[in-house]
Structure 1
Amino acid sequence: MSQKPLLNYIPALTGVRALAAYLVFISHYAYAFDENFPQAVQRFLNEFHIGVTIFFVLSGFLIAFRYFDTFQLTGDWFKQYLKNRVARIYPMYFLLTLAAFVAYYFTHDQKVTNGFANPIGLFFMHITFVRGFFDQLKFTGIAQGWSLTVEELFYFSAPFIFFFAQKYKKFYIQPIIITGVGAILVLIFRNVNWYGFFGNFTFMMLYTFLGRCFEFFVGIQLALIVRKKQLDGSQKNNATYAGFIMIFVCVWFMSTLPIPKGEVAGLHNPLGIITNNYLLSTSIAIFFYGLLTETTILKKILSNKFVELLGKSSYIFYLIHLGWMYDLLHSSFNTWNDKAFELYDKWGVDWVSPFQYDSLNVLYAFIILNGVSILLFRLIEEPLNHYIRKSDFLIKNKQRTTSV
């Protein structure tokens, strides 16, 4: 137990956040490399959505490591717990969601609403996280924000998961029961035309907490294992690299699977769902175990101060890498490309434009969005996080009341 305070913050796992966000970015913009790589490589890059699974396993680990031995099912504890979760997740999500709907007011980009008749109503579905229960609405607004519905449901459920784990000692029955509830909801609602509310098994298994709960439970189990160990980096069991290799073996396997009609990745194949939700999450946990118990070059890279900063700002990067901000950059690159060729025509030269190639434009956007993410983290996210934690939101700040 004496190790625990030292591990409330783990630099390498903060660096992992950046890795996870960048993998998701690559999966969304792999099309830019169509002409440069064979189809097998393209398929491989399309499966880099695994960054989402990394986030889920990491959340399960961190919440369990911090709270499993100290949680209390009391009003005050739960208020403080929710206050901390809100301070971490909600401010930037709310502001960036608001920005997405303001952008929709000017652009009428149908990606934001997917034909939903009431944008204001949809906005409230977003800021309350309920849009993530509807298949037809999951990619509206901030498209990648569907995963926050999954995260928030886990945060709310975690203390009860810990309670039942301690009281009944039947830890692995819980994900079976939770996924079973998801299956029952699909059987009830799959023939109801309500924007795809638990409309099919693929949606339930890939886009809801009920289907993806195992990933969080793997993280919880990892926390229960490592909290009893000396995490001084002295072990040499090669778990870091073994887990890392296993992760990309899972990616490769998904990239070989037939893609169901209307989908873009092997993830949506039934075998892809099993690989992603169960085999991949276990591989990630092994990788994390290595980062926690070993000292490796990879751990040193992920613990680097700059990588750590990228990890801290990766939540914002994840929220802005798709949507109006990227679309604005893409439009600007196209405009600058046209103007460059206009200048070349005037000068009578046959030069290459810096904005001529999609792959370079994606790289420019990646760099710019990281810069924006760091600025927003320093100027908005971090100050708001500290402010809410020190405020009397939900529950009075004890430190402030004792000092008065």
Structure 2
Amino acid sequence: MSQRSLQNYIPALTGVRALAAYLVFISHFSYIFDENFPHLVQRFLGEFHIGVTIFFVLSGFLITFRYYNNFHLTKDWFKQYLKNRVARIYPMYFLLTVAAFVYYFITKDPAITKGTGNPVALLFLNITFVRGFFYQFWDTGIAQGWSLTVEECFYFSAPIVFLIAKKYNKFYIQPVIITSFGILLVLIFRHVNWHGFFGNFTFMFLFTFLGRCFEFFVGIQLARYVIKKDFTRTHKLNYTYTAFILIFVCVLVMAFQPITPPWVAGLESPIGIITNNYVLCIVIAFFFYGLLTETTVLKKILANPFVELLGKSSYIFYLIHLGWMYNLLHNGVNHLNDYVFNLYDKWGVNWHSPFEYDTLNLIYLFIVLNAIAVGLFKLIEEPLNHYIRKSDFLIKYQPRPKGITD
């Protein structure tokens, strides 16, 4: 199967991005379901942060799938590679992060700074991704943006990973060395009061690349296998649905774990970390393998053009679903609710407001956030992506042959 024909499978993986972002959305607002449902349901939905693991495994797969065979660690190659990564990730993150701090200077919302230090310095730490190395700062600005520090660390390290794997045939030892280095940093800095720089093991394993590198390496290995085996299937096991079920078995395992403050999920327990970082990612890789090699209803849904569009805009959705933009929209819904009840008072009726139920409001906001994400993708992210790729930023632009994508 040629490289060109392999790309026919990618739309389903783009649709997976939307699925991952929506799982994270549910996890952040699972408390809304606690009043009218058994507490276990809320705990189960609260572990849907697994969308982040899906993102990490997918990143490992896609970067390897696109670059592994044409990898040359030269100055020009790295400049082009870095240029593509900047074009994909940075513009919207920068704009939305700056907007978050503008929102802070207007509203003084402590959720942006978490009561820490100089907001100007904090803005610098956010736009440079450095905040992700400090326990005190990791959830400032756009809180969920901590995962981009992890992504950027992977982007920078991927060429070295490829070099060591191809030239020295050392692949499996690399995540062991990287994680061991993270453990060493915690042992050194956990008693040093430097804003929580690698301040504890839970932080290191859950919010840094050194702790979560195995998830990327699982995606890398999946891509290496696919490239080598050319999608040849030797048995009839249904990977897609079997792995999909096992993903939520992992969620259930984490939902049963005790929560120790200040942490808020079973993920943040020892068994939760092992399940998420080392078991779940392998199951997700089998799920991706099923999507790549099987024809299923789920694959057709994920590859649907509308779902694909949602997947393309899911990066923006992920950045805006929690934080300043959500807060603005939520306040707007509250004002609408007050306005409706004021009208009812004038009319002398005792009706229900369509905005008085938290679960319905969450659905409204989910739809509006998706609409905003699609709009920003079409109007800003996609044009900026193309502009940077075709500019002379870092390296002079050279048109690629038709049919070649990057």
TM-score tier by shorter-chain length is over 0.9
C-alpha deviation, 1:230, in angstroms: 4.1
Partner of 1:381 in structure 2? 381
Structure-2 change in CA distance of 1:310 and 1:149 (3 Å): same
Q: Give the alignment of 1:166-315 within 5 angstroms.
A: 166-231=166-231, 236-315=236-315
Partner of 1:131 in structure 2? 131
Partner of 1:115 in structure 2? 115
C-alpha deviation, 1:366, in angstroms: 0.3
C-alpha deviation, 1:399, in angstroms: 2.7
Tell which deviates more after alignment, 74-83 or 61-70: 61-70
User: Please, what TM-score do these two structures have when normalized by structure 1?
Assistant: 0.96
Distance 2:209 2:356 in 1: 42
Q: Deviations over 1:53-75 (max 9, x none)?
A: 00000000000111112111110
Tell which deviates more after alignment, 127-136 or 222-231: 222-231
Q: Deviations over 1:116-174 (max 9, x none)?
A: 22111111111111000001111100000000000000000000001111122221110
Distance 1:224 1:3 in 2: 15
Letter in 2 for 1:356: E
C-alpha deviation, 1:32, in angstroms: 1.3
Sequence identity percentage: 71
On the 8 A contact 1:23/1:49 being kept in 2, the answer is: yes
Distance 2:34 2:252 in 1: 18
Distance 1:233 1:274 in 2: 30
Partner of 1:394 in structure 2? 394
C-alpha deviation, 1:206, in angstroms: 0.1
Letter in 1 for 2:344: Y
Q: Deviations over 1:256-283 (max 9, x none)?
A: 0111122211000000000000100000
C-alpha deviation, 1:33, in angstroms: 1.4
- Please report the RMSD computed on the Cα atoms of aligned residues, expressed in angstroms: 1.4
Distance 2:350 2:54 in 1: 46
Structure-2 change in CA distance of 1:304 and 1:232 (3 Å): farther
Partner of 1:326 in structure 2? 326
Tell which deviates more after alignment, 59-68 or 234-243: 234-243
Q: Give the alignment of 1:1-12 within 5 angstroms.
A: 3-8=2-7, 10-12=10-12
On the 8 A contact 2:33/2:41 being kept in 1, the answer is: no
C-alpha deviation, 1:4, in angstroms: 2.1
C-alpha deviation, 1:338, in angstroms: 1.3
Structure-2 change in CA distance of 1:19 and 1:233 (3 Å): farther
Partner of 1:71 in structure 2? 71
Partner of 2:58 in structure 1? 58
Tell which deviates more after alignment, 257-266 or 366-375: 257-266
Distance 1:234 1:340 in 2: 62
Distance 1:223 1:195 in 2: 38
Q: Secondary structure at the match of 1:276?
A: helix
Q: Deviations over 1:175-201 (max 9, x none)?
A: 000000000000111011111100000
Distance 2:230 2:184 in 1: 43
C-alpha deviation, 1:333, in angstroms: 1.2
Q: Secondary structure at the match of 1:223?
A: helix
Letter in 2 for 1:67: Y
Distance 1:55 1:290 in 2: 17
Figure out how many residues of one structure are paired with residues of the other and give that number. Answer: 399
C-alpha deviation, 1:391, in angstroms: 0.4
Letter in 2 for 1:254: M
Consecutive unaligned residues in structure 2, runs of 5 or more: 401-406
